[in-house]
Amino acid sequence: MKLLEYEAKEIFSKYGIPVPKGVLIRAPEEVMEHLAEVGDAVVMKAQVDVGGRGKAGGVLFAGGTTAVETARELFSRDIKGVPVRSILVEERLLIEHEYYVSIAVDRSSRQPVILFADAGGVEIESTASAVRRVIVSPLLRNIPPFLMRELLGDAPKELAPTINSLYRVFQEKDAMLAEINPLVTTPQGVYAADAKLIIDDNALARQGIAVNRDLSAREREAEKHGFSYVELDGSIGVIGNGAGLTMSTLDLIEYYRGRAANFLDVGGGADQERVMHAVRLVASMPGVNVIVVNLLGGITRCDEVARGIIAADVSPTVIVRMAGTNEEEGRQLLAGNGYRMLESMDAAVRAAMEVAP
């Protein structure tokens, strides 16, 4: 789950990473109470989960007298379609130089990777050339000095403690990504001018995060049933077991020039109850008039699945492809209740295409 900048900075601060003096406001008028502590020249940053926020108009500068006016203006904006509900008001830094540092999970080496560049800024991702990278063993709690020297090159040594603290944040907060862009030097020292932190969805509970905000209400509802669920914008509902097979079913719909309405992986042990909930959930999406159910597995009980589909009793057409135990019984149950069961996923998707608008 992605944290907002102010949340990430609160965590950074606890780990000794210097962040600008700042305060979070939820209404324009609140800014006046805090100007004394933040300072007269401020930067206002919309707290929205949007890439390229600055370019999209999510960051404004203000002086003392215009602060409320500027805050009101920023609250009225949509940043790439996302409404501004809170603003981080920060002291304006006298920036001498900008750097970039990012710690991520490197799939190839199976270890944390640290990226560093002498030039920070918004376009860093597209100018990968000058970026140095080092791999750190996950068994180490700190970045060894020799690796830090390799990472920094000619950049000031004063950055090292901040980068090491960022690595501690990365490890201890179960981060998939911990990034400071830009990391700046000022006459007053080093600061994390921006902050990005993405927490591993599989570690949210132990990090004390109760609700995954990256999911929509319906996606969270699906999660409660143990489904993996993603909303798309087509008209053909999809239910599969296993992420790969479900994705493959979506792709097949696209191959036949259809558009899938969703991704729903019911997971292992698809019994009557789970299948019924899944079918009802997908049928409740607006615009869905046909649902493809594609289940495969040694232990999937086809009669149970068939009973689940029949019990769901939804208005969209349900087309089924399944293989497992009690296949024939499942087929007869479905046929007896007016449902079609086809032999292959290709056939099932083609049949759905005939029904889809």
Partner 1 sequence: MIYGDRDLGVIVQNITGRQGRFHTELMNNYAREVGGRGVVAGAAPGKGGQEVHGVPVYDTVREAREEHGATASVVFVPAMAAADAIMEAAHAGIELAVVITEHIPVHDTMKALAYAKLHDCTVIGPNSPGLLSPGECKLGIMPAHLATRGAVGVISRSGTLTYEVVDELTRAGIGQSTVVGIGGDPVIGQTFVDTLARFEDDPETEAVVIIGEVGGNLEEEGVKSTDLPVVAYIAGVSAPPEKRMGHAGAIIEGGEGDARSKVRRISALGIPVASRPSEIPGLIREVL
Q: Which of residues 18, 41, 98, 171 is near partner 1 by CB under 8 A? A: 171
Q: Which of residues 86, 228, 289, 326 is near partner 1 by CB under 8 A? A: 228
Cα–Cα distance for residue pair 254/263, rounded to 1 Å: 13
Rank residues 265 and 304 by Cβ distance to partner 1 and give the closer one.
265
E strands, 123-265, are 132-135, 175-186, 189-192, 196-199, 228-231, 236-240, 262-265
Residue 311 makes contact with partner 1 by CB under 8 A: no
Cα–Cα distance for residue pair 103/90, rounded to 1 Å: 25
Instruction: Map the footprint of partner 1 across residues 182-201, applying CB under 8 A.
Output: 200-201
Rank residues 69 and 125 by Cβ distance to partner 1 and give the closer one.
125
Q: Is 179 annotated in the active site?
A: yes
Of 82-90, 161-169, 304-312, 339-347: span binding partner 1 (CB under 8 A)? 339-347
Among 301, 291, 249, which residue's Cα sits nearest to residue 270? 301
Q: Which residue reads 């296993």 in tokens?
A: 242
Rank residues 31 and 239 by Cβ distance to partner 1 and give the closer one.
239
Cα–Cα distance for residue pair 114/295, rounded to 1 Å: 41
- For residues 58 to 97, the per-residue mask of contacts with partner 1, x marking binding by CB under 8 A and - elsewhere, is ----------------------------------------
Residue 241 makes contact with partner 1 by CB under 8 A: yes
Rank residues 65 and 202 by Cβ distance to partner 1 and give the closer one.
202
Cα–Cα distance for residue pair 237/1, rounded to 1 Å: 26
CB of 77 to partner 1, least distance (A): 22
CB of 322 to partner 1, least distance (A): 11
CB of 217 to partner 1, least distance (A): 16
Among 26, 145, 6, 22, which residue's Cα sits nearest to residue 74? 26
Residue 346 makes contact with partner 1 by CB under 8 A: yes
Residue 120 makes contact with partner 1 by CB under 8 A: no
Cα–Cα distance for residue pair 246/239, rounded to 1 Å: 7
Residue 243 makes contact with partner 1 by CB under 8 A: yes
Residue 107 makes contact with partner 1 by CB under 8 A: yes
Rank residues 122 and 323 by Cβ distance to partner 1 and give the closer one.
323
Of 69-77, 149-157, 296-304, 311-319: span binding partner 1 (CB under 8 A)? 296-304
Q: Is 100 annotated in the active site?
A: yes
Of 8-16, 23-31, 77-85, 104-112: span binding partner 1 (CB under 8 A)? 104-112
> C-alpha 113: how far from its chain's center?
20
Helix, strand, coil abundance in the chain, percent, nearest 5? 35, 30, 35
Cα–Cα distance for residue pair 232/168, rounded to 1 Å: 37
- Cβ-Cβ contacts under 8 Å for 174 (sequence gap 6 or more): 199, 200, 203, 206, 207
Q: Which residue reads 């007896």 in tokens?
A: 336
E strands, the chain, are 22-25, 42-46, 59-62, 78-79, 82-83, 87-91, 97-106, 111-117, 132-135, 175-186, 189-192, 196-199, 228-231, 236-240, 262-265, 290-301, 317-325, 340-341
Residue 217 makes contact with partner 1 by CB under 8 A: no
Residue 257 makes contact with partner 1 by CB under 8 A: no
Active-site pick, 6, 90, 91, 100: 100
Rank residues 244 and 338 by Cβ distance to partner 1 and give the closer one.
244
Residue 297 makes contact with partner 1 by CB under 8 A: yes
**Residue 242 near residue 297 (C-beta atoms within 8 A):** yes
Rank residues 102 and 185 by Cβ distance to partner 1 and give the closer one.
102
Binding site for partner 1 (CB under 8 A): 105, 107-108, 110-112, 125, 137-139, 171, 174, 176, 200-203, 206, 228, 230, 232, 240-248, 250-255, 260, 263, 265, 296-299, 323, 344-346
Residues forming the active site: 100, 179
